[in-house]
Structure 1
């Protein structure tokens, strides 16, 4: 199995497959009501919509880096404000997150095998996650999705 196939299989497993640790990311998100998405529980810094927006931003940023763009924070910022509750906006956010991951999956599938262990275009910066190999970049996003999916599930239990 090629690196592209391995990474895509890992990404698809956590997004829509049957990961060993519990529900996949899309099942978690699809079971969140609009009302729960914008409620911030006492003591929490972010609501569910804000976390999904954060995940979307880093998916888009990873896609841009895979296409050779210089690294930075996501265009909307690391923790963009999800704004006021809006049911249409919530559905658009969920659909945008799924589309962004589908786009990234296509880029991973077509990525040259001999380039996976090459460093990205940037110097090492731990805060931004730059200066790693393309493989580490995608593995990092997968880990990021798993981490925040757990937060989404917990927050939904609290407010849902």
Structure 2
């Protein structure tokens, strides 16, 4: 996979026209009239999922910047804020922050030259950049699907 293809997939999944259905942004437009605390049983709410998505995007951004010290500990409050309770304004703030992380991520990737960097190990990790960035794309798609289902309730 090339840098150009990674950029295209990030853009398509986030605010384009992916083949599988609605993009992240198209799905988030649908949640304006629903409760950001909506969840199934004891599951994560829309707000919690948005915070989670942002946390892992910031992780990718920091690793792209070369920061091997930045960490999101699995199942910590930084990973899943189980105490999160969100107003409509909080939800909009999270959506805005998600958009900001998209811009930051794309900006950092576009500054890279060539494609060989995609095969380099991510600082502080055992995997390569192409794995990390494909993971972010898949992670967004997975969680926006959850948000779309929660928005219907």
TM-score, normalization by structure 2:
0.88
Contact 1:117 1:134 in 2 (8 A): yes
Aligned Cα root-mean-square deviation (Å): 2.0
Take 2:51 and 2:107, find their aligned partners in 1: how far apart are those partners?
A: 21
Unpaired segments of 5 or more residues in structure 1?
Answer: 123-129
Take 2:53 and 2:79, find their aligned partners in 1: how far apart are those partners?
A: 9
Q: CA deviation at 1:77?
A: 1.1
Q: State the SS of the aligned residue for 2:31.
A: coil
TM-score, normalization by structure 1:
0.85
Take 1:82 and 1:109, find their aligned partners in 2: how far apart are those partners?
A: 36
Q: CA deviation at 1:82?
A: 6.5
Q: CA deviation at 1:87?
A: 1.9
How many aligned residue pairs are there?
Answer: 149
Q: State the SS of the aligned residue for 1:145.
A: helix
More RCO (CA 8 Å, sep 6+): 2
Taking the TM superposition and a 5 Å limit, the aligned residue runs for 1:69-108 are 69-70=67-68, 71-73=70-72, 77-81=78-82, 83-108=84-109
Provide runs of 4+ in structure 1 moved above 4 Å.
none
Aligned position for 2:150: 155
Aligned position for 1:36: 35
Aligned position for 2:19: 20
Q: Which moved more, 1:96-105 or 1:84-93?
A: 84-93
Take 1:108 and 1:142, find their aligned partners in 2: how far apart are those partners?
A: 14
Aligned position for 2:120: 118
